[in-house]
Structure 1
């Protein structure tokens, strides 16, 4: 529970004040039945109206004082819990931002959303409840039991038996509830995941006419959530009436015993009335405690899910080499890598190659050859299993990760754009960039013309992930963003697949005209793209099967020849 300790320490003063208010509010509530007994046994019984008035005013004053304490603790509880919730959501989001790729792979995005919203809200409500009813109920219950025993030790035997039965019921209820509420949270995850997948693939669903199947998927997840929610609520539905019945039977027995004792002159009417009031307070407190435990069970499940995020493996952002200004290219030295939590089969096997600063490397090979994995490892999204990757003379594991990524611009296979303007998206990877530099990057990416034809030009707003743009336009903006970053190394992960050959050739030409020291890695499926590179790396099933220039590979690499023949063909004799 380090998570709670951290935030309670931050808001300790307000928390202590709220708890103090709860304590004094409970004291005020506990005093009222005793004062009422005094009014009945002294004032009413002896017809002393002065006593009735005096104790009545005292009782009224205590009630007003209790209301003041209640209002104060409500205000403090709201402030503490909402600050707690805001800090927790921020810390969870910050942790997710720093997740290593392995951690991100372990938890579905739908589940992350549930944990950031539903689970943090559950924890926030629990914290609010601690300072409102969670402390008051036990205090009132213990105080009522103590005062009831003082009033009549004999009748208190019935009270203690009833409490023991209720405590046993609460214990069984907790054990049955925990498993069920954990399943409810997982079912919510599943519903969120189904909805998220549909929203991301809505066009594909429409194109393939899969509406009914998607409805069935959602209905299945929704029905599962319904069944698990009903199952969790049935525990409360079964146990709450039994607990209320137990206490009610206890009150009936106390009334019977009280009448016998009163008839024998062994107890006064006021004390019987006070005892019944305490019994009612105990009943109310026990019901509240039952709800507290049910809330605690839900919060325990939510806390564990949040702590799974907070304890997740972070990205490799740590101390290390800060100065990598003297770059001499990129090198893989006998690198072997398997995805964490995967099949264990290496995606890259004993891969070695080196490119110098200013060179362009094309990486080509069949689908699943490990081309995109090469890009992810260069950015150190994952640590290599064996071997090493060098940026200049430095192992990238020894370089501060933030510094490493500042020196690499990346255009991913799937273009990702953010809600905002075109200018904001292009300048996203570089602070304090000038307008002219953004325009130049757009021109080099062959995006300036279509941007200029938009109503707001560079201030035109983009929908979520650029839904108001074509695939080719999104790719050109993604390339422009990478160019605008002006990093020493640029990795283009098959990000020109939606561009025609002429547009792609213009993009490549513009990149060649940039800083001659800029190193470019082009991951591609197109032989025409690869042919323009200084060096070509051919991968097949994670293994290097060719490395060199186009003409050399046509002569020496069968995989490269197969790709060439499938896309271009021709008489290979002319090339070699």
Structure 2
């Protein structure tokens, strides 16, 4: 928690202003009971009406001053806390952007969302309360105690007895409640995960009639969170009744023994009334402190979870400063092997090949052969376990990630679009792309036809995830997004799977002219897509089973021949 609170240093002048305003408010609150005692003893008891009006007017002024200070303190504390929350969110997001895919898998997307939203909100709320109460509660407690002693030292012995009782009760309850807060956040993570899976996978759930089972799964996650939340709230619910009981018993004791002292002439009525007010202020200071005790443990858990993300070192960082531009448009895998964390066997073993500018290198293989894993290593989404990947003649680990990725036009296996217009989605590949460049990229990607049929053309709005267009249209827009970048290396990870054969053929013909000065890496399932490639790499169980042209592999490679035979008849092969 302390580490996060260091970020408040940016708002130090606002924080100091809050502390000053809270101090003034607290002093006005402490002054009011003394004024009330004067009204009773010197005004009401003796019947001095002018004195009552005079001191009453002063009380109104002090109250108004305290109220203004309170409003101003609330405004500035909220401003500081909200700014603090914004800064932490920005900091977390910026740090998470450096994570590799491996790091994302380790923390979990659902947990990262919870930490960036709910956890930071928890800390924000505590910061607002702390700014108000860190100064207010001690001043009210110590000030109330001093003023009570000044009114009647002997009667203050009642407070000496009741305060340890109240503090002991608070500590006992907090000891039971604090461990439960961590469980609440973990259960919230789980609920967020299940809910996210249900929302993103709704088509699959409905297609397999799994609504009832998923409903049960969500209900379980929801019930687990509800149960632990009820448990922690039951513990915390004891806090207020215990405090009110102790407070009221203390007031009863003060009135009882104060009445005896008035009867003996050792105390005045006004002083007793003021004493009761000071006792109430002391008790309320403890109430405020206990409210802090309720919120701080949960916020401390949240702060720990946020710090875990901020302190998490990305699997790999930019260490080199070389520019990936020595041999433009070249890609080389030099005896590369890669294993996923915790995997028993490597996903790729001893991958070795070189692709030059103007060449099309196709990668084909069965499901789970390692095709997508191979292309994910090129933009350094993962780091190789052994070996070296050279992009433009430079080891990808020696150049910055931004530098390497700026040379690559990547079209992922699953076409992903963002909410916004079609033009904005294509411009995602090149921020300063002109309208002419966008239209040209769309034409090459065979997307211009369907875009032209839309009412707003390139300004047509794409809904979240591209839900309002077909799978083939999404793929073509993803390809246009990569083309507008005009990179040195194009990576198409099974990017033509949703296209019909006619569109596939037209797209590959258009791509030939567009990519003649670049390296093209083409992952495909269909033999017809890779048949004209300069080089076909056949992957089998993470290893290269063969490299060559379609004709060469058909004659010499059994794995490739099996793939071809599974898609074409003997006549077609011949």
TM-score range normalised by the length of the shorter chain: over 0.9
The answer for the alignment partner of 1:336 in structure 2 is 337
The CA distance in 2 between the partners of 1:117 and 1:367, in whole Å, is 38
The answer for the alignment partner of 2:444 in structure 1 is 444
The CA distance in 2 between the partners of 1:273 and 1:520, in whole Å, is 87
The CA distance in 2 between the partners of 1:500 and 1:572, in whole Å, is 19
The CA distance in 1 between the partners of 2:345 and 2:150, in whole Å, is 73
Count of residues paired in the alignment = 573
The answer for the alignment partner of 2:467 in structure 1 is 467
Which digits, 9 at most, give the CA deviation of each residue in 1:5-54, with x for residues without a partner? 44322111111011110011101111111222233334444444454444
- TM-superposed CA distance for 1:78, in Å, is 2.3
The CA distance in 1 between the partners of 2:283 and 2:447, in whole Å, is 72
The answer for the alignment partner of 1:30 in structure 2 is 30
In 1, are the aligned partners of 2:324 and 2:404 still within 8 Å (CA)? no
The answer for the alignment partner of 1:316 in structure 2 is 317
Counting only pairs closer than 5 Å after superposition, residues 4-403 of structure 1 correspond to structure 2 as 4-314=4-314, 316-317=317-318, 320-322=321-323, 324=325, 326-327=327-328, 329-340=330-341, 342-403=342-403
In 1, are the aligned partners of 2:329 and 2:488 still within 8 Å (CA)? no
Counting only pairs closer than 5 Å after superposition, residues 558-573 of structure 1 correspond to structure 2 as 558-570=558-570
The CA distance in 1 between the partners of 2:246 and 2:71, in whole Å, is 33
- TM-score of the two chains, using structure 2 as the length reference: 0.94
- TM-superposed CA distance for 1:328, in Å, is 5.2
The answer for the alignment partner of 1:418 in structure 2 is 418
The CA distance in 2 between the partners of 1:2 and 1:480, in whole Å, is 48
CA RMSD of aligned residues (A): 2.2
The answer for the alignment partner of 1:517 in structure 2 is 517
The CA distance in 2 between the partners of 1:50 and 1:444, in whole Å, is 93
SS of the residue corresponding to residue 514 of structure 2 reads coil
C-alpha spacing 1:94/1:127, structure 2 compared with 1 (3 Å): same
Which digits, 9 at most, give the CA deviation of each residue in 1:272-293, with x for residues without a partner? 2222111112222222222121
Bigger drift between 371-380 and 249-258 goes to 249-258
In 2, are the aligned partners of 1:318 and 1:401 still within 8 Å (CA)? no
The CA distance in 2 between the partners of 1:22 and 1:344, in whole Å, is 61
C-alpha spacing 1:364/1:2, structure 2 compared with 1 (3 Å): farther
C-alpha spacing 1:356/1:375, structure 2 compared with 1 (3 Å): same
C-alpha spacing 1:532/1:26, structure 2 compared with 1 (3 Å): same
- TM-superposed CA distance for 1:378, in Å, is 0.5
In 2, are the aligned partners of 1:134 and 1:292 still within 8 Å (CA)? no
* Structure 2 runs not aligned, ≥5 long: none
Bigger drift between 309-318 and 75-84 goes to 309-318
In 1, are the aligned partners of 2:337 and 2:387 still within 8 Å (CA)? yes
In 2, are the aligned partners of 1:360 and 1:520 still within 8 Å (CA)? yes
The CA distance in 2 between the partners of 1:333 and 1:160, in whole Å, is 78
SS of the residue corresponding to residue 537 of structure 1 reads strand
In 2, are the aligned partners of 1:363 and 1:371 still within 8 Å (CA)? yes
The answer for the alignment partner of 1:405 in structure 2 is 405
Say whether 1:549 aligns with 2:549. Answer: yes
The CA distance in 2 between the partners of 1:351 and 1:26, in whole Å, is 72
In 2, are the aligned partners of 1:330 and 1:356 still within 8 Å (CA)? yes
- TM-superposed CA distance for 1:84, in Å, is 2.0
Which digits, 9 at most, give the CA deviation of each residue in 1:531-553, with x for residues without a partner? 22111112222122222222332
The CA distance in 1 between the partners of 2:324 and 2:550, in whole Å, is 35
SS of the residue corresponding to residue 430 of structure 1 reads coil
The CA distance in 1 between the partners of 2:386 and 2:166, in whole Å, is 60
Which digits, 9 at most, give the CA deviation of each residue in 1:229-262, with x for residues without a partner? 2112111112321222122222222222222222
Which digits, 9 at most, give the CA deviation of each residue in 1:145-190, with x for residues without a partner? 2222333332222212221122122222223222222222222222
SS of the residue corresponding to residue 333 of structure 1 reads strand
Bigger drift between 535-544 and 80-89 goes to 80-89
The CA distance in 2 between the partners of 1:172 and 1:420, in whole Å, is 54
Which digits, 9 at most, give the CA deviation of each residue in 1:105-146, with x for residues without a partner? 123322222222222222222222223345323321222122
C-alpha spacing 1:421/1:318, structure 2 compared with 1 (3 Å): farther
The CA distance in 1 between the partners of 2:337 and 2:253, in whole Å, is 77
The CA distance in 2 between the partners of 1:289 and 1:175, in whole Å, is 15
SS of the residue corresponding to residue 398 of structure 1 reads coil
Bigger drift between 345-354 and 49-58 goes to 49-58
